[in-house]
């Protein structure tokens, strides 16, 4: 019996050299090897009589070598092996370039299966550099669907294929089935051994599909179980218990009354914090739904209980803005508020750190500088992170590690489709703010191409004349010669706009500027000293300029739908009628479909559902923006149905066996434990 944790080097047929090459692909153990799924497949399953093959067709033929292969040296570095092969229907000329050994491998009078691309010239057919093997019925590289793997130096497809074959032969019999029997039955999933064999060496396309479905299901199911179990454990974890404070003083101090959804989110979070367990809550709400206010209420609640809060933003601009907003909201209520960002001088930082350590602040706002090693907190009870998809789960945990199990509130403006939310945020409780503050207008959205440039400029002029400000978003900072596609760069485009509108104030902001400069430009925009601000996606998250009523996105095809939705959220934040124009010269069907979703709805959740439907979860899991462990489903192209099903089944199972302690769940528990262990950093 071969242990799945066995080092690949001990597998028969895999030597030191191959093992070393495999390690570069992240393959160390037998388990890694058989879980290294093909990148794609090549269909070599069709075998045809020579006479029936067509020009350009990639196909297998089974033929006998009719003459002795001839080796000719055309010149130094160019050797040709030529031969003719025949079957009952006809003949084919075969040429190998620089493969002199073909002369010795192929013998006159013997039959082989050749795979290659047929060329037809008059009545003659030819093959160049075909793949071949003996026609003895054991077809390994011909006559079937062949896996294509990601490879690296020291490994070619053939060795990779052989290595996987050896690996499978060593362990196929004893792969444990982590799926409970009834789950497998109910969802009609293939058995483990079958799935692993057929994901690598599918008998046919139907077998491949069955294997794929099973493996995707398994991966998502194990992940859902892991996250579900973490959440179960967390809710039993002891936290700092707060006692109910009277929020009416807080609400009364606001310039407006909270929406029902805001009130509800605050109440849910307060109930968590008062329960004695640790809060792990996600507040999900569209741009402009007023998440900051929810955080402010909870910060106030903490302060009323004598504890401090830390508020972490993903960028300096945002930290700055939150600092202003929260100071305005909470300063008058007597809270002591500080900030800590990377761009502050060493002296400023030192001062803030001292006040933090001495417990002289109720709230600290900052960027990731908040969790630098030398920052110490006194009585930290609440950690708020804004726009969490930017942080990844790991960074969040660094800050959480600072206090004594502080409560955690995560705020995300990226609406995640409900089907994904459970998996992505499986370890968090979720409050949804599904109501916008009153008086918000819909942002009218248009998708146009370059031919509208003139009209677009007229529209910019009109907006500015009415006293409004304009955002223009470009996909790049500076012009890039290497890119074949011409993309608008922020700098270049700003220069163009200055020429078109010599009398207007055009600004340019991008991530390569120093934090101080960015802040100065943003401040000027907020103060109304810039008419047109050309930007890269640094303005994507959170920045508030109520007077901006038009946003133009250049090369809109370069942005994801949820990103476009975020960008659109930069306007329509004041009382002015606002517009969003998406400029794209890409008239591919997919792009048109995507952009048209933007023009039809302003609902972030709907947009994300549509995005998921168009791209599939594989894309999502592949993008690694979510802080989850690397998933194979990305390669396998998961679909939404499997995802939903896996989630349902995981919930069902955890309801009956929360700790997965039943003997029949031992294999599953082991898988879940391994996932949590391997990814200890990214979870937590």
Angle, nearest 10°, between helix axes 561-568 and 604-622? 140
Q: Which is nearer to Mg ion, 321 or 445 (CB)?
A: 321
What minimum distance in Å lies between the beta carbon of 574 and Mg ion?
16
Residue 25 has phi, psi (to 5 degrees) of -95, 10
Among 359, 437, 560, 622, binds ligand ADP (CB under 6 A): 437
- R_g of the chain, CA atoms, integer Å: 31
Query: Could you give the string, one character per residue 499-538, with x where binding to Mg ion holds by CB under 5 A and - elsewhere?
Result: ----------------------------------------
Cβ-proximal residue to Mg ion, closest one = 542
Q: Which is nearer to ligand ADP, 321 or 445 (CB)?
A: 321
Among 69, 139, 143, 285, binds ligand ADP (CB under 6 A): 285
Q: Is 617 in the site for Mg ion (CB under 5 A)?
A: no
Q: How far apart are CA 96 and CA 80, in angstroms?
A: 6
CB atoms within 10 A of CB 403: 20
Q: How far apart are CA 96 and CA 93, in angstroms?
A: 10
Angle, nearest 10°, between helix axes 192-200 and 205-235? 120
**Structural contact between residues 383 and 273, judged by C-beta atoms closer than 8 angstroms:** no
Count H helices and E strands in the chain, helices first: 23, 22
Q: Which is nearer to ligand ADP, 191 or 547 (CB)?
A: 547
Q: How far apart are CA 553 and CA 586, in angstroms?
A: 13
What minimum distance in Å lies between the beta carbon of 553 and ligand ADP?
18
Q: Which is nearer to ligand ADP, 426 or 542 (CB)?
A: 542
Q: How far apart are CA 620 and CA 612, in angstroms?
A: 8
Q: Which is nearer to ligand ADP, 389 or 632 (CB)?
A: 389
Q: Is 549 in the site for ligand ADP (CB under 6 A)?
A: no
What minimum distance in Å lies between the beta carbon of 359 and ligand ADP?
28
Residue 489 has phi, psi (to 5 degrees) of -100, 150
Longest dimension (CA), the chain: 97
Nearest residue to 141 (alpha-carbon basis) of 131, 151, 149, 127: 131
Instruction: Pick the stretch among 12-20, 122-130, 288-296, 366-374 that binds ligand ADP (CB under 6 A).
Output: 288-296
CB atoms within 10 A of CB 382: 27
Cβ-proximal residue to ligand ADP, closest one = 290
Q: Is 576 in the site for ligand ADP (CB under 6 A)?
A: no
Residue 486 has phi, psi (to 5 degrees) of -85, 115
Which of Mg ion, ligand ADP, none is residue 202 near (CB under 5 to 8 Å by kind)? none
Beta strands (DSSP E) in 209-253 are: none
What minimum distance in Å lies between the beta carbon of 324 and ligand ADP?
11
Q: Which is nearer to ligand ADP, 403 or 542 (CB)?
A: 542
Among 53, 166, 284, 289, binds ligand ADP (CB under 6 A): 289
Among 66, 256, 613, 630, binds ligand ADP (CB under 6 A): 256
Among 21, 287, 420, 582, binds ligand ADP (CB under 6 A): 287
Q: Is 288 in the site for ligand ADP (CB under 6 A)?
A: yes
Residues near 493 by Cβ (< 8 Å), separated by ≥ 6? 472, 474, 534, 554
The backbone region for 651, taken as left when phi is positive above 0, alpha when psi lies in -120 to 50, beta otherwise, is: alpha
Q: Is 290 in the site for ligand ADP (CB under 6 A)?
A: yes
Q: What is the distance, to the nearest Å, from the Cα of residue 331 to the centroid of all Cα atoms in its chain?
A: 38
Which of Mg ion, ligand ADP, none is residue 679 near (CB under 5 to 8 Å by kind)? none
Beta bridge partner(s), residue 468: none
Which of Mg ion, ligand ADP, none is residue 395 near (CB under 5 to 8 Å by kind)? none
Q: Which is nearer to ligand ADP, 290 or 627 (CB)?
A: 290
Instruction: Pick the stretch among 255-263, 303-311, 389-397, 459-467 that binds ligand ADP (CB under 6 A).
Output: 255-263
Which of ligand ADP, Mg ion, none is residue 556 near (CB under 5 to 8 Å by kind)? none
Q: Residue for token digits 């302003």?
A: 602
The backbone region for 627, taken as left when phi is positive above 0, alpha when psi lies in -120 to 50, beta otherwise, is: left
What minimum distance in Å lies between the beta carbon of 388 and Mg ion?
11
Residues near 585 by Cβ (< 8 Å), separated by ≥ 6? 449, 450
Which of ligand ADP, Mg ion, none is residue 178 near (CB under 5 to 8 Å by kind)? none
Q: Is 544 in the site for ligand ADP (CB under 6 A)?
A: yes
Which of ligand ADP, Mg ion, none is residue 287 near (CB under 5 to 8 Å by kind)? ligand ADP
Which of Mg ion, ligand ADP, none is residue 239 near (CB under 5 to 8 Å by kind)? none
Instruction: Pick the stretch among 55-63, 356-364, 416-424, 542-550 that binds Mg ion (CB under 5 A).
Output: 542-550
Q: Is 259 in the site for ligand ADP (CB under 6 A)?
A: yes
Q: Is 604 in the site for Mg ion (CB under 5 A)?
A: no
What minimum distance in Å lies between the beta carbon of 210 and Mg ion?
45
Residues near 608 by Cβ (< 8 Å), separated by ≥ 6? 414, 415, 416, 417, 561, 562, 565
Residues near 453 by Cβ (< 8 Å), separated by ≥ 6? none
Q: Is 415 in the site for Mg ion (CB under 5 A)?
A: no
Q: What is the DSSP string of 106-138?
A: S-TT-EEEEEEEEEEETTEEEEES-EEEESSS-
Q: Is 542 in the site for Mg ion (CB under 5 A)?
A: yes
Instruction: Pick the stretch among 223-231, 243-251, 258-266, 338-346 that binds ligand ADP (CB under 6 A).
Output: 258-266
Helix (H) or strand (E) holding 266, with range, is helix 260-274
Among 29, 159, 292, 367, binds ligand ADP (CB under 6 A): 292
Helix, strand and coil in the chain, % to nearest 5: 45, 20, 40
Q: In this structure, what token pair is assigned to residue 317? A: 């601009």
What minimum distance in Å lies between the beta carbon of 287 and ligand ADP?
4
Among 258, 415, 417, 618, binds ligand ADP (CB under 6 A): 258
Q: Is 180 in the site for Mg ion (CB under 5 A)?
A: no
Q: Residue for token digits 């009218």?
A: 444
Residues forming the site for ligand ADP (CB under 6 A): 256, 258-259, 262, 285, 287-293, 413, 437, 542, 544, 573
Residues forming the site for Mg ion (CB under 5 A): 542
């Amino acid at each position: 019996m071969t242990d799945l944790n066995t080092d690949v080097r001990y597998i028969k047929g895999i030597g030191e050299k191959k093992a070393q090459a495999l390690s570069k692909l992240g393959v160390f153990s037998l388990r890694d090897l058989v879980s290294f799924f093909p990148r794609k497949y090549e269909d070599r399953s069709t075998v045809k009589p020579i006479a029936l093959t067509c020009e350009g067709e990639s196909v297998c033929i089974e033929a006998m070598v009719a003459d002795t292969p001839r080796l000719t040296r055309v010149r130094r570095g160019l050797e040709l092996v030529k031969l003719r092969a025949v079957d009952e229907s006809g003949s084919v000329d075969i040429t190998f370039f620089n493969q002199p050994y073909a002369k010795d491998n192929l013998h006159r009078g013997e039959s082989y299966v050749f795979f290659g691309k047929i060329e037809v010239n008059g009545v003659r057919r030819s093959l160049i550099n075909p793949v071949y093997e003996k026609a003895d019925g054991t077809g390994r590289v011909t006559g079937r669907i062949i896996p294509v793997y990601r490879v690296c130096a020291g490994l070619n497809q053939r060795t990779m294929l052989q290595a996987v074959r050896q690996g499978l032969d060593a362990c196929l019999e004893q792969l444990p089935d982590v799926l409970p029997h009834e789950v497998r039955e109910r969802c009609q999933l293939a058995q483990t051994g079958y799935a692993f064999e057929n994901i690598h060496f599918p008998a046919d396309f139907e077998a491949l599909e069955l294997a794929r479905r099973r493996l995707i299901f398994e991966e998502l199911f194990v992940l859902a179980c892991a996250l579900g179990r973490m959440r179960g454990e967390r809710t039993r974890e002891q936290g700092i218990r707060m006692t109910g404070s009277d929020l009416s003083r807080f609400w009364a101090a606001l310039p407006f009354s909270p929406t029902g959804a805001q009130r509800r989110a605050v109440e849910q979070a307060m109930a968590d914090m008062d329960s004695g367990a640790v809060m792990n809550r996600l507040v999900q709400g569209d741009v402009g739904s007023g998440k900051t206010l929810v955080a402010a209420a909870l910060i106030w609640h903490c302060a009323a209980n004598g504890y401090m809060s830390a508020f972490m933003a993903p960028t300096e601009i945002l930290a700055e803005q939150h600092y202003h907003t929260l100071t305005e909201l909470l300063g008058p209520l007597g809270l002591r508020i500080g900030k800590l960002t990377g761009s502050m001088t060493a002296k400023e930082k030192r001062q803030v750190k001292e006040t933090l350590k001495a417990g002289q602040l109720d709230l600290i706002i900052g960027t990731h500088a908040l969790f630098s090693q030398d920052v110490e907190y006194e009585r930290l009870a609440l950690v708020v992170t804004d726009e969490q998809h930017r942080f990844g789960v790991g960074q969040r945990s660094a800050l959480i590690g600072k206090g004594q199990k502080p409560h955690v509130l995560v705020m995300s403006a990226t609406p995640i489709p409900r089907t994904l939310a459970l998996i992505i945020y499986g370890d968090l409780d979720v409050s949804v703010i599904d109501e916008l503050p009153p008086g918000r207008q819909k942002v009218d959205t248009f998708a146009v191409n370059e031919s509208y440039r003139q009209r677009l400029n007229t529209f910019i002029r009109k907006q500015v004349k009415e006293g409004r400000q304009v955002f223009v978003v470009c996909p790049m900072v500076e012009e890039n010669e290497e890119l074949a596609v011409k993309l608008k760069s922020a700098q270049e485009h700003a220069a163009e706009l200055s020429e078109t509108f010599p009398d207007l104030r055009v600004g340019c902001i991008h991530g390569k500027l120093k934090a101080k400069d960015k802040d100065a430009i943003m401040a000027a925009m907020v103060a109304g000293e810039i008419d047109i601000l050309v930007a890269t996606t640094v303005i994507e998250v959170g920045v508030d300029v109520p007077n901006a009523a038009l946003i133009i996105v250049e090369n809109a095809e370069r942005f994801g739908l949820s990103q476009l939705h975020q960008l659109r959220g930069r306007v329509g934040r004041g009382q002015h009628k606002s517009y969003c124009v998406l400029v794209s010269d890409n008239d591919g069907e997919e792009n048109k479909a995507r952009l048209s979703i933007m023009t039809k709805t302003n609902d972030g959740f709907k947009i994300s559902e549509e995005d998921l439907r168009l791209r599939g979860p594989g894309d999502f899991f592949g993008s690694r923006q979510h802080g989850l462990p690397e998933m194979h489903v990305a390669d396998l192209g998961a679909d939404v149905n499997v995802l939903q099903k896996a989630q349902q089944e995981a919930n069902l199972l955890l309801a009956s066996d929360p700790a997965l302690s039943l003997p029949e769940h031992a294999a599953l528990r082991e898988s879940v434990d391994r996932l949590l262990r391997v990814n200890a950093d990214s979870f937590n």
